[in-house]
Structure 1
């Protein structure tokens, strides 16, 4: 099966959407599915207002059409609601092609935090985007219930996985810091609610891994915290494995793949009882969820690192990929997009 996934989030961005799609592609290949990505690569871009470090593509309808037709997909999935997502949605509707979408980011809340625009406006836009899809995939039951209550239709499940070979507890970095070490990893931005973590009265050390527009401000306000910048690959794994507790203070993530990555490193999670942590942690003895985040952090210290690792081992990307591919059955019978002739000197872009 040839699958085209349209996404505004792509390398060199470091976030959950990019990690999810990259891992999905690798796992899907082992199941006989060939995934091509239509990304911002090759397009000019502009910085998002209030977040210039995040850029969106300036799409061209002709180039969007050429990339889709060159891929000749059996199924089309739109992963994000940015300019790439809207352009591919427009192409599919114009040509009568069914497609699926996924709801991975609570953009209404993000926009509201940054601009003051009411959530209701954002959710109206999101409903309009996703209601045209044959299915909108969500990662958790609590998110499905929330979106259904807001009028979203045709909701299906697509859970997440973790690369337990990359993320493992075997080689933690030597952190020369007072113990215990409470660590958070991700984009350093206002919507991640890092202030809730950094303002806690906790023993030991607080560590922040990641970059973003709020980093300089938080470094000034919380001089005793340790901001280590962006980490990737084995370096990231080594740091996560060195933490005593992984703190996930976000109130707006729809899942939080980084929770599974932390657990795969043997590090228990402390979080608020919101979508994502409620579904991942639930009542498993692998972390603590509480509106009192300090209490959750201290309780998580008592959790077994071996139990955390064992929990992650059951959440493979292969199972996630199999579920994703199965969801594409809603597009059957297949509507293959036939390629248009490519002129001499041109090439099909698989960016």
Structure 2
């Protein structure tokens, strides 16, 4: 088995697309001959991230993180985030000449700028140095790849996402949320960068529902007392909530993909969103949603879309295919360096 170490600052108890993606990747990797291990904040003391206490940042000497990496004896390292753990493991890889890839999950420059007066150009310059030091930077969509390439990011490679279509599915007897229909649903972090206020301020019939937790929750509750805030939900409870709704509204302009889009589609929910990176790539011309700068019009029009069609579009995105793409990327960078990883010679990112 090839030993893969994944370094990530995003981990439990966080509930987000990055954590779900890495968890599911690890579950699928053994079928491709890879034994994954992790370096996460759970191995260290942590402190809350300024302005975002739900995110816990590791506080320890970089040497302690490096020792964890060395103990794994990895054949390859994948750095999923640019935080304290990702940065320390990156330094270790460069010092020990261990090949590593990275992935670009989050529009951190825009998120930071939404909270602090930090120019996005400064943050992008730092991120460019961070990711260009590796053998490849994995991105989820063609739109994001083109955008990062225009900003000077190099060695970009595609790594899409999948959906658990057994868990997220239409339900013949979906639970009754006890709310007037149609039900317009948002699922995700409740934070300023998600632009949730743009959804909650829409004049829509029926009910608006928000599933998730985050630093903006209390202020949005006060501003929108007519909205049903259900808190964070996972697993079967989350899947049943999707199935109980009529339309999924995705107001974010900064997400790089949006795993929740696939979860909604797999549950038979049409999507209403802005025509930006993420929705453009997932929904695009599939007919499974409506993309418009007029989010209200998009939400109302989406109600007429067939739930069966939404489900069919989601079924084109499997976690097995996404994992094969990831493994192919790893195999390819090692082949380009002149050596193959045992068991991965036949895997290619374009397979």
Q: TM-score, normalised to structure 2's length?
A: 0.93
Distance in 2, Cα, partners of 1:29 & 1:237: 26
Alignment partner, residue 253 of structure 1: 255
Distance in 1, matches of 2:58 and 2:240, equals 34
Three-state SS of the structure 1 residue aligned to 2:43 is: coil
CA distance in 2, matches of 1:116, 1:220: 26
**Residue 334 of structure 1: how far off its partner (Å):** 5.7
Matched residue, 2:71: 70
Alpha-carbon separation, structure 2, partners of 1:133 and 1:204 = 49
Superposition deviation, residue 273 in structure 1: 0.5
Q: Does the 8 Å CA contact 1:189/1:215 hold for their aligned counterparts? A: yes
CA distance in 1, matches of 2:54, 2:284: 34
| Cα distance per residue 1:103-122 (max 9 Å; x no partner) | 00000000000002111011
Question: Paired residues, what number?
Answer: 336
**Equivalent position of 1:42 in the other structure:** 43
- Which residue is 2:225 aligned to? 223
Select which of 311, 314, 331 maps to 1:312.
314
CA distance in 2, matches of 1:35, 1:162: 20
TM-aligned CA deviation for residue 312 of structure 1: 1.2
Q: Distance in 1 between matches of 2:107 and 2:63?
A: 30
Q: In 1, Cα distance between the equivalents of 2:166 and 2:31?
A: 16
Cα deviations across residues 20-43 of structure 1 (Å, max 9, x unaligned)? 011111122222221111111121
TM-score by length of 1: 0.93
| 1:30 aligned counterpart, secondary structure | helix
Give the distance between the partners of 1:60 and 1:267, measured in 2 at CA: 46
Whether the 8 Å contact between 1:59 and 1:87 is mirrored in structure 2 is: no
Shift of residue 53 of structure 1?
2.3
Contact between 1:139 and 1:254, CA under 8 Å: does it hold in 2? yes
Cα distance in structure 1, aligned partners of 2:329 and 2:94: 20
* Aligned match for 2:334, one of 322, 331, 336: 331
Matching of residue 277 in structure 1 with residue 279 in structure 2: yes
What are the equivalent positions in structure 2 for 1:141-180 lying under 5 Å apart? 141-170=142-171, 171-180=173-182
Q: 1:133 to 1:145 in 2, by over 3 A?
A: same
1:290 match: 292
Cα contact 2:32–2:327 (8 A) shared by 1: no
In 2: Cα distance, 1:308 partner to 1:335 partner: 39
Q: Which has the higher contact order (CA 8 A, sep 6+)?
A: 1
Which one is further off, 296-305 or 325-334? Answer: 325-334
**What's the C-alpha RMSD, in Å, of the aligned pairs?**
1.3
How far residue 63 of structure 1 moved from its aligned partner, in angstroms, is: 2.4
Deviation at 1:59, TM superposition (A): 3.2
Q: Which residue of 2 aligns with 1:238?
A: 240
CA contact (8 A) 1:184 1:246 kept: yes
Contact 1:99 1:331 in 2 (8 A): no
Which one of 177, 187, 191 corresponds to residue 185 of structure 1?
Answer: 187
Q: Which moved more, 1:297-306 or 1:52-61?
A: 52-61
CA deviations 1:261-316 (Å, max 9, x no partner) are 11111111110000000000001111111011001101110111001111111210
Which runs of 5 or more residues in structure 1 are unaligned?
A: 337-351
Structure 2 CA distance, aligned partners of 1:88 and 1:331?
19
Whole-Å separation in 2 of the counterparts to 1:83 and 1:151: 23
Q: Give distance in 2, aligned partners of 1:183 and 1:288.
A: 15
* Distance in 2 separating the partners of 1:60 and 1:290: 47
* Partner deviation per Cα, 1:55-82 (whole Å, 9 max, x = no partner): 2111333322322222121111000111
1:339: which partner in 2?
none
